[in-house]
Amino acid sequence: MLITFTTDAYADITQFGDVALAMLKMMGHSATVPGAILAEDVPAALSRLTAAIEAGKASPPVEDEDADEPVVSMAHRALPLIELLAAAAKAKSNVMWK
């Protein structure tokens, strides 16, 4: 499953479902798809997400020795969504996902 985040202030961001749902939970939202954050709630969601990402940096990602792919940290996966939320907060725009 893929989840796409949209706002009028930034380009759409598409993420794998498990990653997007984890980030929604970090922002304090349920894992309900589709969903939305009202413009006045975007700064708080951004703050909670960045705080959770910073807290998660303390523990290194678990590496799968059987995987041929490099491990991508949640902090790196969150960067596009953080930029989207920052742009939405600046423009006072709603954020939606489906």
Task: Find all residues with CB under 8 Å of 23, minimum gap 6, and list them.
Answer: 15, 49, 74, 77, 78, 81
pLDDT value, residue 66: 61
Stretches in the chain below the pLDDT threshold 50? none
pLDDT value, residue 80: 95
Distance CA 84, CA 24 (A): 13
Where do the domains of the chain lie? 2-57+72-97
pLDDT value, residue 72: 80
Q: What is the pTM of this model?
A: 0.85
pLDDT value, residue 68: 73
